[in-house]
Structure 1
Amino acid sequence: MLIFDGASLVLPDRVLSPGRLVIDGDHIVEIGPGTEDGPMAGLWILPGFIDVHVHGVLGHDVQGSPGGVAAIAAQMPRFGCTSFTPTTFACPPATLAMVAKSVEAAMEARPADAARVLPAHLESNFMAPDYRGAQPLTALCLPPGAPADLAAPGTATGFTAQDIVGVITAHRDAIGTLTLAPELPEALALIRDLVSRGHAVSLGHSGATLEEARAGIEAGARRATHLFNRMPPLTHRAPGLIGAVLDDDRVTVELVCDGYHVHPVVMRAAIRAKRPERVMAITDGLAGAGLAEGARFEVDGRAVTVRAQACFLDDGTLAGSRLTMDRVFANLVEMVGVTPLDAAMMTANVQARTLGLSDRGRIAEGLLADLVVLDANWCVRQTLIGGAVVYANDAG
C-alpha cells in the first residue's frame, strides 16, 4: 500500500490541497484531506498524461523499426505519459502492417516500467495532397471505390486503397483512429464503414469546406486532427473545416500546445470555443521530441532537424513538434493561462473519455493508479503506472 500525503490532488472537479491519496495494488482506494506538512507538500498529483498523437520520442520512431513502439513506450514515463497512441505517417501497406504488429506485441506484453500502448492512430493515406504537409505524396491515395482518374499526380503507386483497408481489417484491434479528408471522393462511405467497424475517424489534412466537413461529421467523424494545422484558415465568410468542428459539440479537437504550431492567443480562443471538455492537448511529437536543438533524425528516409520552435524537413516544411507531455501541461498553464484543473482535463481526462477508457484519466477511487507527480515548476518528479513507481527524479 502506498500513501501520498500533503500534495495538491487534481481531482475531476476540484483541486484538493493538501490531499491524501491511498493506493492498494494497482488501484486508487482512498482520497481525502491531507496534512499541511505531509511528505508530499509542495507537489502536485495528476492523472497520468495520455498522448493521442505522437510519432516518436528521443530518437525512436513508430515506423523506424519493429521495436519502435516498445522503445517509445519505455521512454514515455519520464515525461509523465502513462498511456499513448502510436501515430503513423502515411505509409505503404507493408510498413503499416509492421506498425500494427508492433502495437499488438506491445499491447500484449507491457514491461513493468513502460507506458501503456493504445491502438494506433493512422495519419492515413486518405489525405488531400495539397494539405499533406510533411506526409509523403507517394503514400497518398483516394478511398476505395473512387475513380482512378481522379487521383492526383505523384500519389500512390504499387498499392491500392483496398490494400490499406486490408491491413486495417487484419489488425482491427491494433488500429483505433484514422485521420482523413472528408472531401475526397468516396470519403463519406469510408467514414461510415470505419465507424461501423469500431474505429474512430478524425478530420484533418484537409481542404474541406464547411459543408464537406459537416458531411464528414454526419457520416460519423468525431475528432479533428491538430486543429488549425494542415487545413484552410478560418475566415468570417468561409468557416471551412475549422468552423465546422468548433461549431459542433459532437467533435473533440486535438491541439498542439507548443506555441508555434498554434499561437497561444488562438489556443486560448479555441479552448474557450470548445471548452476544455472537448479539447485534447497533444504533442504531435516526432523522434526529435526530447532531443536538443540541432539534433538530426529521419522520417520516411527524409532528414529532419530539431529547431527551437519545432522539427522541420530540410526544405523548411514543418514536420511535427519536439514536445513531450510534461511540457504540454506546463505550456497550458504558463503560456495559455488555464488552471491546473483544466490542463489536467485536456492532458488526460478528455483523452480517456474520447477513447472509451473508463478506468483511467481521472483521480478517483476505484480507478487505475496511473499518475504523475509534478513539482512547482511542473517538472516530473514521479510517474506511477498501475500503482508502481516506474520513473523517479529526486532532483529539485
Structure 2
Amino acid sequence: AIAAMLPRYGVTAFCPTTVACSADALKTVLDEVRALRAAPQHGCARVLPAHLESNFINQDFKGAQPLECLRMPPAKRTLDIGRWTTDDDVLQTIQAALPDVGIMTVAPELANGMDLVRALTAAGIIVSLGHSGADYETSLAAIAAGARQATHLFNRMTPMTSRDPGMVGAVLSSDDVCAEIICDGRHVHPAVMRVAMAAKSPARIMAITDGTAGSGLPRGSTATLGGRRITVEDVARLDDGTMAGSVLTMDRAFACLVGQAGAGLVDGARMCSTSPARELGLQGHGVLGAGAVADLAVLDANLNVRQTWIGGEPVFDGLSLRP
C-alpha cells in the first residue's frame, strides 16, 4: 500500500524504515521487503533495502522508539561477519536478510557499539549515527570505524554548542558523512537547514520525510507507530505529546527546502534525489541523462506533483494513479 501511494508525491523509490521491534516483527517486515523487491508491482514506487532504526540505540535519546525493544550490542567475539555466532535474535534476523537491509541506525557510545559499527560496515550495511548521546570524540571514532550517515540530523542526538560540538558538530564537520534532514520546517528550523547546507553542501545532505502511517492524512486523524497510537498534527505525536516522526510527504519536503530554507530548485532536487541515490549506490538513479534510469517527477510552478514516471512509464497523472 505504501509503495502504491508514494508516486502521487513524486516518489519513485524508497527505503522502508522500521522502529525498534522484536526479532519476529523484524523478520515479518524483511520478508515483505524481500518479496516486494523480488516481484516489483507495476505502478508502485521501487522498494529499496530497508533502513532499520534499530534496537541498538540510546534509551535517553529514543524519542518515540519503544523502550522495551532497546538492547545493548553483543560482545565483539560474536560479530565476525559471515560467521556471526551471537545468540542475539535481532542480529540473527538481520544476518539472514543482509541483501534486504541497507541502513542501520546505531548509537556508537553503547557498550560494544563501536564493534557493531565495524561489523555492520564489513557486512555492507550503511551505519547511520543517531538516537545517540555520543560526544564529539566518540562520534568521530564511529565515523573512522565506518559510519557513513547520520539519522535525521539535529533530532535525537547530542547538539552542537560553542564548547561541545557533540554528534551534530562531528557530522557537520566530516566530509565522510552524509546527513539526513527532516525537511518539514518543524523538526529542523529552516535557518538551521541553511546552516547545514552551508557546512556540508547539498551534495552531502539527504532530504527525508521520517514519514509515518499518518503521512498524507487530515489533521486530527490517528494511525499507529510501533503498535502505539499517533495523532496527526503538524507532526505525528504519541498520546503523551512526544513527537513521533512526521506527517511529511516528499513533495512538501522539496517545497520546504526551496520555499523556506532558500535552496534553489537544482539544490533542492539534489538533496531529494541525487544525494540519496549516490549514498545508496544506485547507479543511474537521481540524474537525468542518456542511459540513466527513467524515473522522474514533473512539478508545476507551485511545486505540486503533476506526473511521476517510473522506468519510463507514467504511473501518476494529475490525481489518478494509473492501473
Give the TM-score taking structure 1 as reference length. Answer: 0.77
On the 8 A contact 1:182/1:208 being kept in 2, the answer is yes
- Conserved 8 A contact 1:142-1:161: no
Map of 1:91-240 to 2, 5 A cutoff?
A: 91-145=21-75, 162-240=88-166
Indicate conservation of the 8 Å contact 1:143/1:161, yes or no: no
Counterpart in 2 of 1:294?
220
The answer to whether the 8 A contact 1:291-1:306 is kept is yes
Greater RCO between the two (CA within 8 Å, min separation 6)?
1
CA shift, 1:232, in A, is 2.1
Q: Of 234, 237, 253, which residue of structure 2 is paired with 1:328?
A: 253
Kindly indicate whether residue 316 of structure 2 is the aligned counterpart of residue 386 of structure 1. Answer: no
Q: Do the aligned partners of 2:236 and 2:246 also contact (CA within 8 Å) in 1? A: yes
Q: Is the 8 A contact 1:76 1:115 kept in 2?
A: yes
Using the TM superposition, give the Cα deviation of residue 161 of structure 1 relative to its aligned residue in structure 2, in angstroms: 7.0
User: When the two structures are superposed, what TM-score results if normalisation uses the length of structure 2?
Assistant: 0.95
1:305 aligned onto 2:231: yes
CA distance in 1, matches of 2:283, 2:131: 30
Output the CA distance in 1 between the equivalents of 2:186 and 2:110.
29
Report the AA paired with residue 32 of structure 2.
S
Q: Does 1:255 align with 2:188?
A: no
Q: Does the 8 Å contact 1:100/1:174 carry over to 2?
A: yes
Q: Which amino acid counterpart does residue 298 of structure 1 have in structure 2?
A: T
Residue 368 of structure 1: aligned partner? 293
Letter in 2 for 1:113: G
* Alpha-carbon distance in 2 for matches of 1:240, 1:121: 24
1:131 partner amino acid: F
> Which moves more between the two structures, 294-303 or 90-99?
294-303
Provide the aligned length of Structure 1 versus Structure 2.
311
Q: Tell me how far apart the structure 2 counterparts of residues 132 and 196 of structure 1 sit (CA, whole Å).
A: 26
Which residues of structure 2 form unaligned runs of 5+? 77-85
Residue identity in the other structure for 1:99: V
Following superposition, which runs of at least 4 residues in structure 1 exceed 4 angstroms of deviation? none
Q: CA deviation at 1:300?
A: 2.2
- Higher Rg: 1
Matched-pair contact (CA < 8 Å) for 1:124–1:178 = yes
Can you list the C-alpha shifts for 1:282-307, whole angstroms capped at 9, x where unaligned? 00000000011000111222111000
Find the residue that maps to 1:81 and give its secondary structure: coil
DSSP 3-state at the match of 2:307: strand
Structure 1 residues 263 and 161, CA, compared in 2 at 3 Å: closer, same or farther?
Answer: farther
RMSD: 1.2
Tell me how far apart the structure 2 counterparts of residues 393 and 135 of structure 1 sit (CA, whole Å).
36
Give the alignment partner of residue 7 of structure 2, picking from 53, 68, 77: 77
| Equivalence for 1:343 | 268
Q: Which has more strand, going by share of residues?
A: 1
Is 1:318 the counterpart of 2:250? The answer is: no
Matched residue SS, 2:73: coil
**Contact 1:123-1:179 at 8 Å conserved across structures:** yes
Partner of 1:56: none
Tell me the residue number matched to 1:285. 211
* 1: CA distance, partners of 2:319 / 2:144: 50
Residues 161 and 315 of structure 1: is their aligned pair in 2 closer, same or farther, counting only changes over 3 Å? Answer: farther
